[in-house]
Amino acid sequence: MAVSEVPLVFVVGTGRCGTHTMWRVFESLPNTLSTHEGAGVVHAGPPSSLGKRLSMGCMPEFNAYLYHYAGEDIFRRTFEPDAEMTTLMDRCFAIRSSSIAWCRTNGIAYCDANAFGFNFINYLHTKFPSAKFIHLVRDGYACVRSWSRRDASTYPERLPAPGGISWLLAKPAPFPSEVVHGSWAHFDRLQRISWFWNTVNANIAERFDRIPVANKRVLKIEEVTQETIPGILNFCGLPQEFKPDSLAPDDRSTGPAIEWTPANERKFNALAAPMMEKLGYALR
Protein backbone atom coordinates (compact mmCIF):
# COMPACT_ATOMS: atom_id res chain seq x y z
CA MET A 1 0.00 0.00 0.00
CA ALA A 2 1.38 3.42 -0.96
CA VAL A 3 1.92 5.89 1.85
CA SER A 4 -0.71 8.24 0.41
CA GLU A 5 -3.28 5.39 0.45
CA VAL A 6 -3.00 4.55 4.14
CA PRO A 7 -6.57 4.76 5.52
CA LEU A 8 -7.37 7.40 8.14
CA VAL A 9 -10.66 6.99 10.03
CA PHE A 10 -12.18 9.28 12.65
CA VAL A 11 -15.23 8.17 14.65
CA VAL A 12 -17.09 10.91 16.53
CA GLY A 13 -20.23 11.01 18.63
CA THR A 14 -21.74 12.05 21.94
CA GLY A 15 -20.05 9.40 24.05
CA ARG A 16 -21.98 6.42 25.43
CA CYS A 17 -22.84 5.83 21.78
CA GLY A 18 -20.49 2.95 20.91
CA THR A 19 -17.12 4.55 20.20
CA HIS A 20 -15.53 1.98 22.51
CA THR A 21 -17.04 -0.84 20.45
CA MET A 22 -15.79 0.65 17.18
CA TRP A 23 -12.33 1.01 18.70
CA ARG A 24 -12.35 -2.68 19.63
CA VAL A 25 -13.36 -3.64 16.09
CA PHE A 26 -10.62 -1.50 14.56
CA GLU A 27 -8.07 -2.77 17.08
CA SER A 28 -8.81 -6.33 15.99
CA LEU A 29 -7.78 -5.56 12.39
CA PRO A 30 -4.34 -6.40 10.98
CA ASN A 31 -1.94 -3.60 10.09
CA THR A 32 -3.98 -0.98 11.94
CA LEU A 33 -3.34 1.40 14.85
CA SER A 34 -6.56 2.07 16.72
CA THR A 35 -7.04 4.42 19.66
CA HIS A 36 -10.01 5.18 21.90
CA GLU A 37 -9.93 8.71 23.30
CA GLY A 38 -6.21 8.76 22.59
CA ALA A 39 -5.30 5.45 24.23
CA GLY A 40 -4.20 2.32 22.39
CA VAL A 41 -1.55 -0.32 21.83
CA VAL A 42 0.71 -0.70 18.81
CA HIS A 43 0.05 -4.09 17.18
CA ALA A 44 1.76 -3.50 13.82
CA GLY A 45 4.95 -1.91 12.54
CA PRO A 46 8.62 -2.28 13.40
CA PRO A 47 9.34 -4.95 16.06
CA SER A 48 10.74 -2.31 18.40
CA SER A 49 7.31 -0.62 18.50
CA LEU A 50 5.11 -3.66 19.07
CA GLY A 51 3.28 -3.60 22.39
CA LYS A 52 3.97 0.07 22.95
CA ARG A 53 1.11 1.78 24.77
CA LEU A 54 -0.09 5.15 23.54
CA SER A 55 -1.70 7.77 25.73
CA MET A 56 -2.41 10.90 23.73
CA GLY A 57 -5.40 12.10 25.74
CA CYS A 58 -8.88 12.89 24.45
CA MET A 59 -8.35 16.66 24.20
CA PRO A 60 -11.08 17.83 26.61
CA GLU A 61 -9.11 21.03 27.17
CA PHE A 62 -9.90 22.29 23.66
CA ASN A 63 -13.64 21.83 24.21
CA ALA A 64 -13.36 23.49 27.62
CA TYR A 65 -11.73 26.52 25.98
CA LEU A 66 -14.39 26.75 23.27
CA TYR A 67 -17.42 26.30 25.52
CA HIS A 68 -16.41 28.11 28.69
CA TYR A 69 -13.95 30.80 27.70
CA ALA A 70 -13.70 31.58 23.98
CA GLY A 71 -17.33 32.36 23.22
CA GLU A 72 -19.53 31.56 20.26
CA ASP A 73 -17.71 33.68 17.67
CA ILE A 74 -14.46 31.77 18.20
CA PHE A 75 -16.34 28.46 18.40
CA ARG A 76 -17.82 29.17 14.94
CA ARG A 77 -14.32 29.63 13.54
CA THR A 78 -13.65 25.91 14.01
CA PHE A 79 -16.09 25.14 11.16
CA GLU A 80 -13.85 26.87 8.61
CA PRO A 81 -10.57 27.37 10.48
CA ASP A 82 -8.62 30.48 9.51
CA ALA A 83 -4.83 30.61 9.80
CA GLU A 84 -4.85 31.58 13.49
CA MET A 85 -7.38 28.89 14.46
CA THR A 86 -5.53 26.32 12.36
CA THR A 87 -2.31 27.09 14.23
CA LEU A 88 -4.07 26.53 17.56
CA MET A 89 -5.66 23.30 16.38
CA ASP A 90 -2.33 22.11 14.92
CA ARG A 91 -0.80 22.45 18.37
CA CYS A 92 -3.68 20.67 20.08
CA PHE A 93 -3.50 17.86 17.52
CA ALA A 94 0.30 17.65 17.36
CA ILE A 95 0.76 14.31 19.14
CA ARG A 96 -1.86 12.66 16.96
CA SER A 97 -0.30 14.18 13.85
CA SER A 98 2.99 12.55 14.83
CA SER A 99 1.24 9.19 15.23
CA ILE A 100 -0.45 9.57 11.85
CA ALA A 101 2.89 10.43 10.23
CA TRP A 102 4.42 7.32 11.83
CA CYS A 103 1.54 5.20 10.49
CA ARG A 104 1.99 6.61 7.01
CA THR A 105 5.71 5.94 7.08
CA ASN A 106 5.07 2.34 8.06
CA GLY A 107 2.02 1.74 5.84
CA ILE A 108 -0.34 1.29 8.79
CA ALA A 109 -3.99 2.39 8.89
CA TYR A 110 -4.90 4.89 11.63
CA CYS A 111 -8.30 4.82 13.38
CA ASP A 112 -9.30 7.31 16.08
CA ALA A 113 -12.54 6.80 18.02
CA ASN A 114 -12.90 9.88 20.21
CA ALA A 115 -16.15 11.20 21.61
CA PHE A 116 -14.40 14.50 22.41
CA GLY A 117 -13.06 15.06 18.89
CA PHE A 118 -16.07 16.42 17.02
CA ASN A 119 -14.94 20.05 17.04
CA PHE A 120 -11.90 19.01 14.96
CA ILE A 121 -13.93 17.51 12.08
CA ASN A 122 -13.59 20.34 9.56
CA TYR A 123 -9.97 21.00 10.50
CA LEU A 124 -9.21 17.30 9.95
CA HIS A 125 -10.95 17.17 6.60
CA THR A 126 -8.82 20.10 5.41
CA LYS A 127 -5.65 18.54 6.81
CA PHE A 128 -6.40 15.01 5.57
CA PRO A 129 -8.76 15.29 2.55
CA SER A 130 -8.95 11.52 2.04
CA ALA A 131 -9.86 10.74 5.67
CA LYS A 132 -13.16 9.01 6.40
CA PHE A 133 -15.50 10.21 9.14
CA ILE A 134 -18.16 8.19 10.96
CA HIS A 135 -20.83 9.96 12.98
CA LEU A 136 -21.75 7.22 15.42
CA VAL A 137 -25.21 7.64 16.94
CA ARG A 138 -27.32 5.83 19.49
CA ASP A 139 -31.00 6.04 20.36
CA GLY A 140 -31.34 9.17 22.51
CA TYR A 141 -33.31 7.53 25.30
CA ALA A 142 -30.66 4.83 25.73
CA CYS A 143 -27.75 7.24 25.41
CA VAL A 144 -29.12 9.77 27.90
CA ARG A 145 -29.91 7.00 30.37
CA SER A 146 -26.37 5.65 30.04
CA TRP A 147 -24.88 9.10 30.61
CA SER A 148 -27.11 9.60 33.67
CA ARG A 149 -25.32 6.71 35.38
CA ARG A 150 -22.08 8.73 35.25
CA ASP A 151 -23.22 11.29 37.78
CA ALA A 152 -19.71 12.48 38.61
CA SER A 153 -18.81 13.48 35.04
CA THR A 154 -22.00 14.65 33.35
CA TYR A 155 -23.71 17.82 34.61
CA PRO A 156 -23.56 16.58 38.24
CA GLU A 157 -25.96 17.78 40.87
CA ARG A 158 -23.25 17.69 43.53
CA LEU A 159 -19.73 19.05 43.84
CA PRO A 160 -17.26 17.15 41.64
CA ALA A 161 -13.91 15.73 42.65
CA PRO A 162 -11.10 18.08 41.55
CA GLY A 163 -9.75 15.55 39.07
CA GLY A 164 -13.08 15.45 37.26
CA ILE A 165 -13.38 19.14 36.54
CA SER A 166 -11.60 19.01 33.17
CA TRP A 167 -14.06 16.31 32.06
CA LEU A 168 -17.00 18.43 33.17
CA LEU A 169 -15.71 21.45 31.27
CA ALA A 170 -15.43 19.38 28.09
CA LYS A 171 -19.24 19.24 28.04
CA PRO A 172 -20.97 22.12 26.25
CA ALA A 173 -23.22 24.72 27.82
CA PRO A 174 -25.61 26.93 25.83
CA PHE A 175 -24.21 30.05 24.20
CA PRO A 176 -26.13 33.29 24.86
CA SER A 177 -27.72 33.20 21.39
CA GLU A 178 -29.36 29.82 22.01
CA VAL A 179 -33.03 29.61 22.94
CA VAL A 180 -32.38 27.53 26.05
CA HIS A 181 -29.66 29.83 27.44
CA GLY A 182 -32.06 31.67 29.75
CA SER A 183 -33.57 28.43 31.03
CA TRP A 184 -30.31 26.53 31.54
CA ALA A 185 -29.91 27.45 35.20
CA HIS A 186 -33.32 25.94 35.92
CA PHE A 187 -32.83 22.72 33.96
CA ASP A 188 -32.63 19.51 35.93
CA ARG A 189 -29.94 16.96 35.13
CA LEU A 190 -32.13 14.98 32.73
CA GLN A 191 -32.86 18.11 30.72
CA ARG A 192 -29.18 19.05 30.58
CA ILE A 193 -28.09 15.62 29.34
CA SER A 194 -30.95 15.56 26.83
CA TRP A 195 -29.90 18.98 25.53
CA PHE A 196 -26.31 17.75 25.35
CA TRP A 197 -27.29 14.69 23.28
CA ASN A 198 -29.23 16.87 20.85
CA THR A 199 -26.63 19.64 20.65
CA VAL A 200 -23.57 17.46 20.06
CA ASN A 201 -25.34 15.47 17.35
CA ALA A 202 -26.52 18.71 15.73
CA ASN A 203 -22.98 20.10 15.89
CA ILE A 204 -21.58 17.01 14.16
CA ALA A 205 -24.36 17.04 11.55
CA GLU A 206 -23.59 20.66 10.66
CA ARG A 207 -19.91 19.84 10.30
CA PHE A 208 -20.73 16.82 8.15
CA ASP A 209 -22.68 19.09 5.78
CA ARG A 210 -19.31 20.59 4.80
CA ILE A 211 -17.71 17.22 3.99
CA PRO A 212 -18.14 15.33 0.67
CA VAL A 213 -20.56 12.40 0.72
CA ALA A 214 -17.76 9.97 -0.14
CA ASN A 215 -15.91 10.87 3.09
CA LYS A 216 -18.69 10.53 5.64
CA ARG A 217 -21.18 8.10 7.04
CA VAL A 218 -23.81 8.32 9.78
CA LEU A 219 -23.92 4.98 11.58
CA LYS A 220 -26.37 3.72 14.19
CA ILE A 221 -24.63 1.60 16.80
CA GLU A 222 -27.76 -0.56 16.93
CA GLU A 223 -27.04 -1.55 13.32
CA VAL A 224 -23.41 -2.52 13.93
CA THR A 225 -23.43 -6.31 13.72
CA GLN A 226 -21.20 -9.09 12.51
CA GLU A 227 -23.12 -8.94 9.21
CA THR A 228 -22.78 -5.17 8.69
CA ILE A 229 -19.18 -4.71 9.82
CA PRO A 230 -17.69 -5.74 6.44
CA GLY A 231 -19.57 -2.92 4.70
CA ILE A 232 -18.43 -0.43 7.33
CA LEU A 233 -14.82 -1.53 6.96
CA ASN A 234 -15.11 -1.34 3.18
CA PHE A 235 -16.28 2.28 3.46
CA CYS A 236 -13.26 3.01 5.65
CA GLY A 237 -10.84 1.28 3.28
CA LEU A 238 -9.80 -1.08 6.07
CA PRO A 239 -9.01 -4.81 6.09
CA GLN A 240 -11.99 -7.15 6.50
CA GLU A 241 -10.36 -9.56 8.99
CA PHE A 242 -12.07 -8.31 12.14
CA LYS A 243 -12.59 -10.48 15.22
CA PRO A 244 -16.30 -11.14 15.91
CA ASP A 245 -15.70 -11.11 19.68
CA SER A 246 -14.73 -7.44 19.40
CA LEU A 247 -18.48 -6.76 19.22
CA ALA A 248 -19.12 -8.27 22.66
CA PRO A 249 -20.64 -5.79 25.15
CA ASP A 250 -17.98 -3.83 27.00
CA ASP A 251 -17.48 -0.59 28.94
CA ARG A 252 -20.97 -0.65 30.40
CA SER A 253 -22.21 2.26 32.49
CA THR A 254 -22.79 1.51 36.14
CA GLY A 255 -24.69 3.25 38.91
CA PRO A 256 -28.26 4.52 39.35
CA ALA A 257 -29.97 5.64 36.15
CA ILE A 258 -32.88 7.91 35.38
CA GLU A 259 -36.16 6.17 34.60
CA TRP A 260 -38.20 6.99 31.52
CA THR A 261 -41.40 8.07 33.21
CA PRO A 262 -43.93 9.91 31.04
CA ALA A 263 -42.78 13.20 32.59
CA ASN A 264 -39.12 12.47 31.81
CA GLU A 265 -39.99 11.42 28.28
CA ARG A 266 -41.75 14.76 27.78
CA LYS A 267 -38.66 16.61 29.02
CA PHE A 268 -36.43 14.72 26.62
CA ASN A 269 -38.80 15.12 23.67
CA ALA A 270 -39.10 18.87 24.23
CA LEU A 271 -35.35 19.22 23.73
CA ALA A 272 -34.37 16.39 21.40
CA ALA A 273 -37.36 15.39 19.24
CA PRO A 274 -36.05 17.03 16.01
CA MET A 275 -32.70 15.21 16.26
CA MET A 276 -34.40 11.90 17.06
CA GLU A 277 -36.47 12.26 13.91
CA LYS A 278 -33.48 13.39 11.85
CA LEU A 279 -31.51 10.30 12.92
CA GLY A 280 -34.43 7.96 12.33
CA TYR A 281 -35.28 7.02 15.91
CA ALA A 282 -38.88 6.68 17.14
CA LEU A 283 -40.20 9.04 19.77
CA ARG A 284 -42.04 7.67 22.76
For the chain, the domains span 3-140+196-254
| CB contact at 8 A, 35 and 112 | yes
Mean predicted confidence (pLDDT) in 214-235: 97
Q: pTM of the prediction?
A: 0.96
> How many helical (H) and strand (E) elements, i.e. helices and strands, does the chain have?
11, 7
Nearest alpha-carbon partner for 110 in 98, 127, 92: 98
DSSP 228: T
Topology classification of domain 3-140+196-254 = Rossmann fold (3.40.50)
Summarize pLDDT for 21-71 with one digit per residue, the tens.
999 999 999 999 999 999 999 999 999 999 999 999 888 999 999 999 999
What tens digit of pLDDT does each residue of 142-179 get?
A: 999 999 998 777 899 888 888 888 888 999 999 999 99
How many Cβ atoms sit within 10 Å of the Cβ of residue 132?
20
Indicate the angle between helix axes 83-92 and 94-106, nearest 10 degrees. Answer: 70
Distance CA 71, CA 54 (A): 32
